[in-house]
A = this chain, B = another copy of it.
Amino acid sequence: MRLAELSERSGVSTATIKYYLREGLLAPGRQVNTTTAEYDEDHLRRLRLVRALIQVGRVPVATAREVLAHVDDESLGRTIRLGAALWALPQVPEPDGSDEEVRAAHHEVDQVMERLGWSNARSLSSISPAHRSLVAAVATLRRLGYAWDAELMLPYARLMHRAAVHDLDFVETRSSEAEKVETAVAAAILFEPALRALHRLAQEEESARRYGFE
């Protein structure tokens, strides 16, 4: 298919597709001649993933480029490749290690890891962006006066672990390796809005159950 058709089938304007091509989020089509390029179903799939990353996941274009580069890097093993893709994601700045709250948060987070026996996560604790994000989030909560400690975090950690088991079971259902990596990214990025929405719905439900509409 040509650019116009790609645009129509994806619902993304040609101008924006050109922009993504320019930014390296989308591989160029097969050049037929100087003025025509041919795109295929893979391009369409990738374009939809790009849109999902940017619109749903609110991932900056530059970050999306990195994530996708890792998704495409077949020289890496699965965990690494997946990890590399996910590690390119977070948009969280390095927390200030000298800050008091940050150190306290770090301590509580590590305690959670320990009590759950998350040895892998622990061994990566200094480099994993997810770990960094968690420390930053907990530090913010504490700074606002909410004493989020390991005790409070544990039940949430257990719940999210069970969610992760579901995620990976779902990823397993994919056949090809490439699809698995892509699915894992989708699971990380796109399940999150769904989880967040479910969380809020559940809050509404539970709140109405407890207090009615007083």
Point out residues on A near B: beta carbons under 8 Å. 45, 48-49, 52, 56, 58, 77-80, 82-83, 86, 113, 118, 120-121, 124, 128-131, 133-134, 136-138, 140-141, 143-146, 148, 152-153, 155-157, 159-168, 170, 183-184, 186-188, 190-214
Taking chain A's interface residues, is the majority helix, strand, or loop, or is none over half, making it mixed? helix
Contact (Cβ within 8 A) A160 B77: no
Copies of this protein, total? 2
Residue pairs across A and B with Cβ atoms less than 8 A apart, 13 shown, are A45-B145, A79-B207, A113-B201, A120-B209, A129-B200, A133-B197, A134-B198, A146-B183, A159-B163, A165-B206, A168-B203, A187-B203, A192-B196
Contacts of A45 in B (CB 8 A): 144-145
